[in-house]
Amino acid sequence: MSGSHSVEGVEGTVINGVKDMTTKIGVIGLGAMGGLYARHLMKAGYEVLGCDLNAAHTASLEKEGGEVAASPREAADRAEILITSLPSLAALEAVIVGKDGIIHGGREGQILIDTCTLKVSDKVDLGERTASAGRVFLDAPISGTPPMVADLKASLYVSGDEAAYIICKPVIEAFTGTNFYVGPVGDASKMKILANYLVGVHTVAAAECMVLGMKAGLDPALIHDVLPKGAGGSTMLQVRGEYMAKSDYRYEDGTIFDIIRKDASIISEYAAELSAPINLFAAARQTFNSAVALGLDHMELAAVCRAVEVAAGHERDMVE
């Protein structure tokens, strides 16, 4: 997508043809991640307009002081900047170009920050279709678990119109810990593929390490306390290692294994397109499959540790 579109429809001063601040943010998709974005934005002083098919999600937003739009089109009409957090390409297409989609409302130059994780080619295509409708599409997948988003420790990779990114940076900073502009539309999704590769490998590595340590007679709580602070530490060992140490994988949303299944397919297909070896990830993917086969897919992804325990013949009670 070209950076030639000016950004309009936001209140504030004009810098290089675009305006530098906003007051009302439309969040489309108020699930495990989008609901957290909305809460952080309201705490930062923004007005938030939410849109979601799940009435419980919109009711929760209203209870916390947000407003509700009946459709993406209405959200575009009433908000100045839009953020999407959706589970699939079909959902995102419906929100952008569907009957009541964003492009049928709003205004010329309106910015959409899309935080979904999809194929690079799908993001490029959506960027072009959004641009052809006179809107500005920022490909901006988020990297982080829901607890990381809740604690403002997640990272956003942003690609697309750089001027639009600069305008949106205060908004982005309100619901993330770090953010990076990485280039044209599609490049952020490439970066997210790399991040998800590491999430998958490091989660399984943490599980295998935890089980190896327990079989050696070490206390799992001690393992989690010590290892993240050394050279072998990782974000997944720190974040998901806590679940593993406690053998407590309860997770209210229960969709994280569906997400890793989708992301694993994206990673594997993209690596195949580029003829790039991903041997470690391919092995990790089989361990996730084992966890699903054990009926653990309603739990947090850290439950992969239980699959490793079963394979290792290690008996340990799991919090139900």
Assign 250 a pLDDT band (cuts: 50, 70, 90): very high
From the candidates 24, 99, 192, 246, give the one annotated as an active-site residue. 192
Report whether 203 contacts 211 (CB < 8 A). Answer: no
Same domain, 92 and 123: yes
Mean pLDDT of 292-317: 97
Is residue 180's pLDDT more than 70?
A: yes
Does the structure show a pLDDT above 70 at 222? yes
Residue 279 burial (CB count, 10 A)? 8
Tell me: pLDDT of 207 over 90.
Answer: yes
113 and 149 belong to one structural domain = yes
Domain holding 237: CATH number? 1.10.1040.10
The reply to whether 288 and 195 lie within a common domain is: yes
The confidence score (pLDDT) of residue 252 equals 82
Q: pLDDT at residue 253 above 80?
A: no
- 208 plus 169 within the same structural domain: no
Residue 13 in this model has a pLDDT that exceeds 80? no
- Using CA atoms, how far residue 131 sits from 79, 102, 126, 135, in Å, is 18, 12, 8, 5
- Rounded Cα distance between 190 and 92, Å, is 18
Q: What is the CA radius of gyration of the chain?
A: 21
The pTM score is: 0.91
280 burial (CB, 10 Å; 0-12 / 13-18 / 19+) is middle
Residues 36 and 117 in one domain: yes
What pLDDT score was predicted for residue 23? 82
The reply to whether 176 and 234 lie within a common domain is no
What pLDDT band is residue 7 in, cutting at 50, 70 and 90? low
The sign one gets for the Cα dihedral 261, 84, 34, 29 is negative
In a domain, 5, yes or no: no
Please choose, from the candidates 192, 170, 172, 196, the residue with its C-alpha nearest in 3D space to the C-alpha of residue 182: 192
∠ CA 205-219-232, rounded to 5°:
35
| Other C-beta atoms lying within 10 Å of the C-beta of residue 203 | 26
Last residue of some domain: 153, 185, 217?
A: 185
> Would you call 43 a catalytic residue per the annotation?
no
How many domains does the structure of the chain reveal?
Answer: 2
Residue 2 lies in a domain: no
On whether both 295 and 155 belong to a single domain, the answer is: no
- On whether both 162 and 19 belong to a single domain, the answer is yes
pLDDT band at 320 (very low <50, low <70, confident <90, very high): confident
Domain end (from 185, 209, 228) = 185
What average pLDDT does the chain have?
A: 93
CATH number at residue 147: 3.40.50.720
Whether residue 124 sits in one domain with residue 152 = yes
pLDDT for residue 12 is more than 50: no
Confidence of residue 22 (pLDDT cuts 50, 70, 90): low
Q: Do 255 and 228 have their domain in common?
A: yes
Q: Does 318 reside within a domain? A: no
User: Where does the pLDDT of residue 9 fall: very low under 50, low under 70, confident under 90, or very high at 90 and above?
Assistant: very low
Provide the pLDDT for residue 187.
98
The pLDDT value given to residue 53:
96
* Domain range for 80: 14-185
Domain match, 197 and 233 both: yes
Last residue of a domain, one of 132, 165, 185: 185
Are 170 and 294 contained in the same domain?
A: no
| Per-residue pLDDT reduced to its tens digit, 115-143 | 999 999 999 999 999 999 999 999 999 99
Q: Is 266:89 a contact under the CB 8 Å cutoff? A: no
- Residue pair 81/20 in contact (Cβ under 8 Å)? The answer is no
